[in-house]
Chain A
Amino acid sequence: MSDVTARPAEGGAAAPARNLVGFLESTGPLIALILLMVIGSLMSDSFLGAENLSNVFTRSAIIGIIAVGATFVITAGGLDLSVGSLSALVAGVTILFLNAAAQALGANWMLIAVGIAFSLLLGAAAGLLNGVMIVKGRVEAFIVTLGAMGIFRSLLTWLADGGSISLDFSLRDAARPIYYGQVFGIAVPILVLLAIAVIGELALRRMRFGRHVAAIGSSRHVARYSAIPVNRVRILTYVIQGVCVAIATVIYVPRLGAATPSTGLMWELEAIAAVIIGGTALSGGFGRIWGTIVGVLILGFIGNILNLTGFVSPYLNGAFQGAIIIIAVLLQRDRLQD
């Protein structure tokens, strides 16, 4: 993986591509996305319709926001497998909280705002717990978050009696615009994703915190000798991940108004896949948020194209998805492995 560790210095300084290899490396995921969209538009007339594009962007926003958090964690050399289960748990607990509060105080937008704050707090607390266990408890991130994944989902299943936890009908109308609403003709979840992506990109690439994250991911020991507060930064990446999961959940809940034991199933894998497709190194040391967003869109459009065209048997959907993911990463990696 020598190419990975060499990249931060090189990529930071030389943004314009000097040759084909460099060009493909920096724009690989984007080329894959454009190719995919060309295929989509050739195969289906409704693919490039405003409504279809809006649908795919909007539903990708949920995984997208989670994946922004995952980019921080992975760039710092960590891993969080608990995000899918955490979103199910945050959704369930927030709905229970809102339902109880609505009976006492009546349903209005103030209550929704309190609910959002509540879920953000919950997400941050869960992230902090993961981070402290990993950094202070010195347990592998894989083990801590694998354990947390089971714990969070079981708690939700237990709270829901194995069924679903539904948002009170009096609250649905108040919360509905968070998923279905539009500002200047653009769906709210897309705007939220955009804002979080811009903040994330700035924090990761332009701020000291982001440079610390990448330095820790390249070499924790060198970072420690360079007086970087390694423990604090690492814990903070998990807190950021927790908050991102909570924001995604806030957008998810109004869509169907319920949390079930199958909420957020496999989201962790989708988020991690999006991060890697986007060009972030799984071993840490280099990350880019815009790539992650492109990765999320690639995943979203694959499913969309399959549903719109039905040109492969539904039995083979998974194979098609797998092939596209590998090709997207091949475009940017393969040429460097010599």
Chain B
Amino acid sequence: MFDKMKAIVAAGALAIGGWATPSLAADALIGVSIPAATHGWTGGLNYHTKRTIDRMKEAFPNVDFVLATSSSATQQVNDIEDLLARNINALVVLPFESDPLTEPVKAAKAKGVFIATVDRGLAEEGIEDLYVGGDNPQYGTAAAEYFKGKFPDGGKIVVMRGIPTAIDNIRIEAFNEALKDTKIEVLDMQYANWNPDKGFEVMQDYLQRFPEIDGVWAGDDDAALGAIEAIKQADRKNVAVLGGSGMNKVIKLVMDGHDMVDADIFYPPTLIIPAIELVTMKYATQAPINGRYVLGSPLITKDNAAEYYFPDAPY
């Protein structure tokens, strides 16, 4: 009886030991902290993060990774503390929100950890060594420019906002700013939470309320997919749908020349890829790396869609 238990305990210890060995053997341990998959975009983010980590591990066996996905800002603070307890050399973080994450990341920096922030900056400048981000104001501006180009003589559009967050506010502000003094009339804005079901319902109600709608900015490709179904159901013609962020399904629609969707805005979850790769290079090849790396948010049209198309990604 005791022998049997001992054997089990020994096997367990061996298993744990075996599991922990790679991180002991590696020269550098990189912590990666990102939001959990709560909607399509973060789902894609998780997919590309795991994919990139696997590739980097394979290519550079002397660099190891720990990944933590958090479902709230509070949880992310705890997760970063746990990562620090594992003595990471570098931290790649996509902050849930800027303000609550600033202090914990600053504490990590004080311990000598190399900091790379992705997508969202921190509330204080000069903490991060590397910033890799998208351009949120440009995201809103690109949407506004699209409608200006589409309706030079004026048009009536409705807007779906995302999940109430700082990012959403920045985009909408830039969007409104770019539409000032134009003939584009924004009929209404409602939250659709970057969610296809909510996008469907909000669009159904918009279509009931406004007899004339020339365009919809759904704010995100998930919500755009819902809006497309609602427009199809109501049998309304000549409504231009613009989403945003570059979901593969929507880019495919643009490539194939869909009758409602002829463009998309680039703001992909793939921006985590260069962040992880750059930080890996720092330890794998001793490349000196710091500064800012900002990806633009250009408009994707039929001509350049193939460049942004990832058929195998979940987003």
Chain A interface residues (CB < 8 Å from chain B):
44, 46, 49, 51-52, 55, 59, 157, 160-164, 166, 180, 255-256, 258, 260-263, 265, 303-304, 306-310, 314-315, 317
Known: A160-B314, A164-B315, A260-B39. 14 other contacts (CB 8 A): A46-B209, A162-B45, A163-B37, A164-B249, A255-B200, A256-B196, A258-B196, A262-B195, A262-B196, A262-B197, A306-B190, A308-B208, A308-B209, A315-B164
Q: 8 Å CB contacts to A: which residues of B189-244?
A: 189-191, 193, 195-197, 200-202, 204-206, 208-209, 222, 225-226, 229, 233-234
Q: A46-B208, A162-B37, A261-B37 are in contact. Are A307 and B164 (CB under 8 A)?
A: no
Complex-state Cα separation, A228 to B195, whole angstroms: 45
Q: Which residue of A lies closest to B232 (CB)?
A: A180
Residue of A162, A166, A180, A258 touching B47 (CB-CB under 8 A)? A162
Complex-state Cα separation, A256 to B199, whole angstroms: 11
A-B contact count (CB 8 A): 97
Query: Quick check: B190 and A314 within 8 Å, CB to CB?
Result: yes
Chain A residues with Cβ under 8 A from B225's Cβ?
A: 256, 258
Residues of B in contact with A, size category: 35 or more
The 9 A-B residue pairs with the shortest CB-CB distance, nearest first, are A163-B314, A162-B43, A307-B205, A162-B37, A161-B314, A162-B46, A163-B43, A52-B208, A46-B208
Query: Quick check: B201 and A303 within 8 Å, CB to CB?
Result: yes
The verdict on B124 contacting chain A, using a C-beta distance below 8 Å, is: no
List 6 A-B pairs, Cβ < 8 Å. Answer: A51-B208, A162-B42, A163-B47, A164-B315, A261-B43, A314-B161
The verdict on B177 contacting chain A, using a C-beta distance below 8 Å, is: no
Residue of A59, A163, A308 touching B315 (CB-CB under 8 A)? A163
The verdict on B7 contacting chain A, using a C-beta distance below 8 Å, is: no
Query: Quick check: B42 and A263 within 8 Å, CB to CB?
Result: no
Q: Which residue of A lies closest to B45 (CB)?
A: A162
The verdict on B38 contacting chain A, using a C-beta distance below 8 Å, is: yes
Chain A residues with Cβ under 8 A from B306's Cβ?
A: none
Residue of A44, A55, A317 touching B204 (CB-CB under 8 A)? A55
Q: How far, in Å, is A258 (CB) from chain B's closest CB?
A: 7
Mark contacts of B17-43 with chain A using CB atoms, 8 A cut-off: 1 yes-contact digit, 0 otherwise: 000000000000000000001111011
Mark contacts of B53-88 with chain A using CB atoms, 8 A cut-off: 1 yes-contact digit, 0 otherwise: 000000000000000000000000000000000000
The verdict on B188 contacting chain A, using a C-beta distance below 8 Å, is: yes
Chain B residues with Cβ under 8 A from A166's Cβ?
A: 249
Q: How far, in Å, is A331 (CB) from chain B's closest CB?
A: 26
Query: Quick check: A310 and B188 within 8 Å, CB to CB?
Result: yes
Complex-state Cα separation, A315 to B165, whole angstroms: 11
Query: Quick check: A307 and B200 within 8 Å, CB to CB?
Result: no
Chain B residues with Cβ under 8 A from A304's Cβ?
A: 205
